[in-house]
Amino acid sequence: MDIDVSGIPVTVSTGRLPAPADVDEAIVAAAARALPHTEGAVADCIPTLARADPGSFGVALAEVGGEVHEWGDSRLEFSIQSVSKAFVYALVCQELGHRAVHDRVGVNNTGLPFNSLMALELNGGHPGNPMVNAGALVTTSLVPGATPARQWDRVRRCLGAFCGRELDVDEATYRAESRTNGRNRAIAELLASYGHIEGDPVAVADVYTRQCSLAVTTRDLAVMGATLADGGINPVTGERVVDPGVCRDTLAVLASTGLYERSGEWLFEIGLPGKSGVSGSILTVSPGKAGIAAFSPRLDAVGNSVRAQRVTAHLSRSLGLDVFASATARPTTAPPTTARPTDEESHDQH
Ligand code: GLN
């Protein structure tokens, strides 16, 4: 889709968020502009997602100082889906280190849909990056734990620490996806055939399906994002979840791969790392400032929430979050230090 940012003035980053009242005002304005957009369709790849209320819409922004701003259906629960990939990746980076995860999972965009088997074949069996299903399955297989049950417990506790509360599985979604995830099981089997998954690929796909089924709210996602924005300390609970270097690595990967094959367009319009999930959520991180989450189930053709993209584009601009937007440091009224010769003068010198 075209992320329409026309008429939203770009505010240059000051290194800090605007005052809380200005943040609230910006959220209301961004939501009002995105609300009329009812194009797109609710996901039908998992039967429980197809039953989501297409009109629901929540926004939350969690500051690194711990203040959380919420709008609309910010407390409505949905399954975390692909957004979980970012946090399981952080967990594995914390345990295995930067180089090992880079070599096993990769960091480059595949340019193909998130559940592509072809991407795997084209890459000689290498998963490409941790934000597509192949890479996420490898990441999940690397979670420490002697059994799949122990690995799952580790995933659930770690994601809970990121959002500051114990998380439970949405059982209906887990059961529905378990019945329909033949494609993910096939990807896991293919990865195992290339030697990229050790152990039972079906068990890995099961832990991955459970992690995608964890029930979260828009508020939870914002706090999870704020933990990545705050060098790994959850700003609401004060708990250190991962190290600052792990946050940096996770955000760098999200910047190039978080919005599937539209990651380039996302970075061009929003200028921030983000991750979308097929339930209709997008989590965006402004390093050193905030986690921003938006949820609305209608998706565009590649699986990104239409309203969530729009509301985030607005907030990135109006709150001065775009990491690529800068103003010149030199005062614009100062005369140039050396006068450049006119065309005629420079011609005369030759
Ligand atoms: N559980 C979904 C899958 O594996 C997640 C996809 C998504 O959110 N993009 O297919």
User: Hey, which of 81, 87, 305 would you mutate to test ligand 1's pocket, going by the most ligand atoms within 8 Å of its Cβ?
Assistant: 81
The encoded tokens of residue 252 equal 């760098």
Place of tokens 């979260």: 216
Tens digits of pLDDT across the chain (350 residues): 566 777 777 776 667 899 999 999 999 999 999 999 999 999 988 888 889 999 999 999 999 999 999 999 999 999 999 999 999 999 999 999 988 999 999 999 998 999 999 999 999 999 999 999 999 999 999 999 999 999 999 999 999 999 999 999 999 999 999 999 999 999 999 999 999 998 899 999 999 999 999 999 999 999 999 999 999 999 999 999 999 999 999 999 999 999 988 999 999 999 999 999 999 999 999 999 999 999 999 999 989 999 999 999 999 999 999 999 887 777 666 555 555 554 444 444 44
The encoded tokens of residue 277 equal 């999930």
Atom 2 in ligand 1: residue holding the nearest Cα = 81
36 phi and psi angles, rounded to 5 deg: -70, -10
Atom 4 in ligand 1: residue holding the nearest Cα = 133
User: In degrees, to the nearest 5, what angle opens at C-alpha 180 toward C-alphas 193 and 162?
Assistant: 80
The encoded tokens of residue 39 equal 């194009």
Any atom of ligand 1 within 6 Å of the Cβ of 212:
yes
* Contacts of residue 143, Cβ cutoff 8 Å, sequence gap at least 6: 88, 91, 92, 95, 151, 154, 155, 207
The encoded tokens of residue 269 equal 């319009």
pTM above 0.75, yes or no: yes
The 10 Å Cβ neighbour count of residue 202 is: 12
